[in-house]
Amino acid sequence: MSNITFPHISLGTTGATLVIAASAACFGLVPIFVRELQGLGAGPATIALYRYGFSVLFLLPFLPFEKRKRGGALLMAGAGLVLGLSLIGHLEAIRVAPVAAAGVVYMSYPVFAALFAWVLLRQALTWRSFASAGLVILAAGLLLDPSSLSPEALQALLWAIPAPIAFGFLIVVLSGLAGELNSLERTACGLSGSVIGLLPLAINEGQGSVLPASTGQWGLIVAMGLGTALVPQILYTIACQKVGPVRTAAAGSFELPTMFLVGWLVFGEAIGLRELLSAAVVLSAILIAPSIGAGPRLDREVAPTT
């Protein structure tokens, strides 16, 4: 086990919320890499494996093996496995549907995070919880226009629904159910679980091989792994323990306007008043979301691993 010592990190509610929003903006860049890799012949399970597998290589030294941490580690790994498998549908939706449409389906996860927090953490569904989740749903509804989507796109968006459910559950596990795991251990366990679930599917997609076939693919994988998984995921994991699952989910919805911009600037998708209004609604949800501390205090969570 690593003896690396981490500096003390002090984040207030506002600072943690901003860190989550910035991390979510990094997550919103995923479609750029997904479509590039799809264009090079990679399937959705393989792309998801690339994204998380790169990070796991760096985080393996932080996997916890102490008996007292096994329960939290297994729970984190299980949540990560479910999320990894569910992301296959989300990545397929990115391929065949507009980026904004795939994004608004995924952004329903604050609703599921609030429900899981209520069931698993006994956190009350206050009016602020309902209002924040309702605003995110409203933002999503503003962008869904069935008349402009093909039957293939609609079917793909339907299969993308498990992803926000799984992510809502993961948020609650990260912020309140991971026991004594510190932030790097939580991230390592969650991403390792995703890799375990995705590896067999990726091998099947690649007919026995998952290694990139070109230098260009390697470059995309490294950039995607660093910029959309490893660095933002660690920061996200640290910050979410300061504000709890409801505000984490709301602040994380900043991924949605980021995806709008990606669709507009990179893929030439139209962005107009409806998209701008939706982004404003998401920002409103962030402001009214309640801050509910759910896990151990951050100064304990960033203690050195042993």
Which of 36-50, 94-108, 109-123, 227-241 is predicted most confidently? 36-50
pLDDT of residue 1: 45
From 4-13, 47-56, 113-122, 276-285, the region with the lowest mean pLDDT: 4-13
Q: Which has more pLDDT, 36 or 299? A: 36
- What is the pLDDT of the chain when averaged over all its residues? 82
Please say if the pLDDT value at position 8 is more than 60: no
Pick from 164, 112, 135, 145: which is nearest to 280 by CA?
Answer: 135
Please give the average per-residue pLDDT across 83-95, as a whole number. 92
% of residues, the chain, pLDDT over 90: 29
Q: How many CB atoms lie within 10 A of CB 80?
A: 29
pLDDT of residue 298: 35
Task: Using CB atoms within 10 Å of the CB of residue 120, give its burial: 0 to 12 exposed, 13 to 18 middle, 19+ buried.
Answer: middle
Residue 66 DSSP label: -
Q: Scanning the structure block, which residue is given the tokens 């500096």?
A: 7
Domain boundaries defined on the chain:
14-292
Q: Scanning the structure block, which residue is given the tokens 């991390």?
A: 23
% of residues, the chain, pLDDT over 70: 91
Please give the average per-residue pLDDT across 251-270, as a whole number. 86
Please say if the pLDDT value at position 179 is more than 80: no
Tens digits of residue pLDDT in 19-54:
999 999 999 999 999 999 998 888 999 999 999 888
Please give the average per-residue pLDDT across 258-276, as a whole number. 85
The verdict on pTM exceeding 0.95 is no
From 50-54, 55-59, 129-133, 284-288, the region with the lowest mean pLDDT: 284-288
pLDDT of residue 250: 77
Q: Residue 283 corresponds to which tokens in the numbers above?
A: 């920002």
Q: Are 121 and 153 in contact (CB under 8 A)?
A: no
Q: Which has more pLDDT, 203 or 303? A: 203
Q: Scanning the structure block, which residue is given the tokens 């090079």?
A: 40
Q: Which has more pLDDT, 4 or 99? A: 99
Q: Are 172 and 113 in contact (CB under 8 A)?
A: yes
Task: Using CB atoms within 10 Å of the CB of residue 40, give its burial: 0 to 12 exposed, 13 to 18 middle, 19+ buried.
Answer: middle
Please say if the pLDDT value at position 270 is more than 70: yes
pLDDT of residue 9: 55
CA distances from 7 to 239, 298, 306 (A): 15, 12, 15
Q: Residue 130 corresponds to which tokens in the numbers above?
A: 């309902």
Q: Are 73 and 186 in contact (CB under 8 A)?
A: no
Q: Are 4 and 305 in contact (CB under 8 A)?
A: yes
pLDDT of residue 197: 93
DSSP H helical ranges for 97-122 = 99-106, 109-121
Q: How many residues does the chain have?
A: 306
Rounded Cα distance between 201 and 212, Å, is 16
Please say if the pLDDT value at position 75 is more than 90: yes
Please give the average per-residue pLDDT across 64-73, as a whole number. 89
Which one-letter amino acid corresponds to residue 269? Answer: E
Please say if the pLDDT value at position 294 is more than 60: no
Rounded Cα distance between 158 and 173, Å, is 25
